[in-house]
Amino acid sequence: MKIDIVSIFPTFFDVLDISLLGKARQNGVINLDVHDLRDFTFDRHRTVDDTPYGGGAGMVMKPEPWGLALDEILGITEGQAQDDQAKKPADQDAPAQTDADAATTAADGSIPPLVIFPSPAGDVFNQAMAKELAHEDHLVFGCGRYEGIDQRVFDYAEQHARVRLVSLGDYVLNGGEVATMAMIEAIGRLIPGVVGNPESLTEESHEDGLLEYPSYTKPSTWRGQEVPPVLLSGNHGAIEKWRYEQRVERTRRVRPDLLPPE
Ligand SMILES: Nc1cc(-c2ccc3ccn(Cc4ccc(CN5CCCCC5)cc4)c3c2)n[nH]1
């Protein structure tokens, strides 16, 4: 899988050089590039933001640097970009483009990249979305900052690729980098060859809708607390039954919303 990240804090992603994802990059399972949005500015101060039209607090990210960054990453030629200028501006009342509409197949028949913009206004990320995105060939993460990105960047991106706004959850972060990191970790670990033992990806929380069972390891007695005897019994059927019951009980207690309707 090819992953591109655009951010004004590229060093934020240095942590992706270590651990499982670092190994996956070294052995070519994941090809990840981080782009500094300021490399697509040309003024002395490398400006990426400006005041919002219509007033309001804070600053908005300018469209020009984003347009150049997306052109480079998506392989949009100047001619194609000029064509867009000829197109009428996106009609705010027009029905939002679906992936099918926007997924114009590239000339070589490949499916265009999926551009993900973390946003408080996006679809909430979950394990089902992680599994779906793990099948993509090329993901591009656009990390906004300040009060967000000029809307025309999303509209422009939709003319050349599939675009999704994705929320990490119902809380407001300061930018898209933390959300991008979380999504890359959740998606990356599902890509074959990234996690050593694929069996460890089953029976996880959210994998099949139930939370995970409690885990134990040596010593069998610790500070007066015992490991549940069934786990020391060697009776694999009884262990499997106990673990399933623990998953249902924990889900009922902590996340009853995940339980299938009775
Ligand atoms: N799940 C999740 C994802 C994010 C996320 C993702 C990307 C960015 C880029 C910037 N921010 C900070 C931010 C975003 C929105 C507001 C509200 N503001 C109201 C007035 C009109 C403009 C918008 C304030 C600050 C981001 C936050 N937070 N939480």
Map out the domains of the chain as residue ranges: 2-77+110-200, 208-258
Distances (CA, A) of 89 to 115, 157, 256: 20, 13, 45
Give residue 171 CA to ligand 1 midpoint distance, Å. 9
- DSSP bridge pairs for 256: none
Comparing CA positions, the residue from 177, 179, 152, 145 lying closest to residue 61 is: 145
Average pLDDT over residues 106-110: 65
Ligand 1 contacts (CB < 6 A) are 56, 118-120, 144-145, 147-148, 167-169, 171-176, 179
pLDDT digits 0-9 by tens, 148-163: 999 999 999 999 999 9
Into which CATH architecture does domain 2-77+110-200 fall?
3-Layer(aba) Sandwich (3.40)
pLDDT digits (tens, 9 = 90+) for 192-248: 988 888 777 776 777 788 999 999 999 999 999 999 999 999 999 999 999 999 999
DSSP 3-state helix, strand, coil percentages of the chain (rounded to 5)? 40, 15, 45
Give the pLDDT mean for 176-200: 92
What CATH number should be reported for the domain whose range is 208-258?
1.10.1270.20
What is the per-residue pLDDT across 39-53, written as a single tens digit (0 to 9) for each?
999 999 999 999 999
Is residue 10 within 8 A of residue 34, CB to CB? The reply is yes
Distance CA 253, CA 256 (A): 6
Per-residue tokens: 23: 């190994």
- CA 47 to CA 50: how far, in whole Å? 8
**How close is the Cα of 48 to the center of ligand 1, in Å?**
16
Beta bridge partners of 162: 114
Q: What percent of the chain has pLDDT over 70?
A: 89
CATH topology of 2-77+110-200 equal to that of 208-258? no
- Measured from the CA of 170, which atom of ligand 1 is nearest? 1
Pairing of strands 114-124, 60-61: unpaired
Site to substitute for ligand 1 among 141, 173, 178, most atoms within 8 A of C-beta: 173
- Please give the mean pLDDT across all residues of the chain: 90
- Whether 138 and 114 have beta carbons less than 8 Å apart is answered as yes
Q: Give mean pLDDT, residues 126-148.
A: 97
Q: Which residue among 62, 172, 174 is best mutated to probe the pocket of ligand 1, counting the most ligand atoms within 8 A of its Cβ?
A: 172
pLDDT at 24: 86
The span from the CA of 90 to the CA of 163, in Å, is 15
pLDDT of residue 95: 46
Token duo for residue 150: 């000029």
62-67: average pLDDT: 98
- The confidence band for 96, taking pLDDT boundaries of 50, 70 and 90, is very low
Cite the annotated binding site by residue number. 144, 168-173
